[in-house]
């Protein structure tokens, strides 16, 4: 064992009385030392926690990249069962809007308009129609509007992965 250092600890009087009754006077230091070591063995080390957090972040990033790649290949299926996302699309413009949302998971009408070549107002109108058609059939919208900040986007439309 390495060099020993004196440690002063304040404990309740009842705990000290219990310690005096159970542990002989010459063995108390060893008892307290062993108790501290035992407790430290059970507590996770901060560097291990940090490493686990980094590994989880890397896993989340790689899962996001895989989902993005699968969406680009148009084979992404959603947990709620396999539903055809295009059943609510009337024409090719609606399909392009849904494709873009599947790839990006969420976007503002301006971003969708720039990517698809459709005017922003037309994008908004089409998203609202897609939302109402999907609500009628599934009871929840395929797309939803979130006015606050979400994943770095403000006032954006999001694809609902549960549909």
pLDDT at position 31: 92
* Ranges assigned E (strand) in the chain: 106-107, 143-150, 153-159
Residue 82 has what pLDDT? 53
User: b vs e for 133-157, b when ≥16 Cβ sit within 10 Å of the residue's Cβ?
Assistant: bbeeebeebbbbeeeeeeeebeebb
How many domains are contained in the chain?
A: 3
Q: What is the CATH number of the domain that holds 82?
A: 1.10.10.10
**How much is the pLDDT for 79?**
47
Instruction: Provide, for the chain, the percentages of residues in helix, strand and coil under a 3-state DSSP scheme, each rounded to the nearest 5.
Output: 60, 10, 30
Instruction: Supply the pLDDT for residue 80.
Output: 45
Predicted pLDDT at 22: 92
Contact predicate 162/140, CB 8 Å: yes
Give the pLDDT confidence score for residue 83 in this predicted structure. 60
Round to whole Å and give the CA distance between 122 and 87: 19
Same-domain pairing of 122 and 135: yes
Q: Which two tokens stand for residue 8?
A: 């002063």
Containing structural domain, residue 56? 49-76
pLDDT of 10 reads 92
Whether 5 is in a domain gets the answer: no
Given a cut of 50, the residues of the chain with pLDDT beneath it are 75-76, 78-80
> Are residues 128 and 95 part of one domain?
yes
* pLDDT for res 163: 56
Sequential DSSP letters for 5-52: --------HHHHHHHHHHS-GGGHHHHHHHHHHHHHHHSPPHHHHHHH
> Per residue in 118-143, pLDDT tens?
999 999 999 999 899 888 887 778 88
């Amino acid at each position: 064992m390495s060099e020993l250092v004196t440690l002063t600890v304040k404990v309740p009087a009842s705990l000290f009385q219990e310690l005096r009754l159970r542990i002989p006077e010459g063995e108390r230091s060893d008892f307290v030392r062993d108790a501290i070591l035992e407790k430290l063995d059970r507590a996770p080390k901060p560097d291990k926690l940090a490493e686990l957090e980094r590994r989880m972040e890397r896993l989340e990033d790689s899962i996001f990249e895989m989902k993005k790649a699968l969406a680009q290949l148009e084979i992404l299926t959603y947990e709620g069962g396999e539903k055809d996302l295009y059943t609510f699309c009337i024409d090719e413009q609606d399909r392009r809007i849904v494709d873009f949302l599947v790839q990006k998971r969420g976007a503002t009408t301006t971003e969708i308009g720039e990517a698809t070549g459709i005017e922003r107002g037309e994008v908004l109108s089409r998203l609202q129609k897609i939302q109402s058609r999907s609500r009628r059939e599934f009871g929840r919208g395929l797309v939803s509007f979130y006015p606050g900040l979400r994943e770095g986007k403000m006032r954006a439309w999001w694809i609902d992965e549960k549909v």
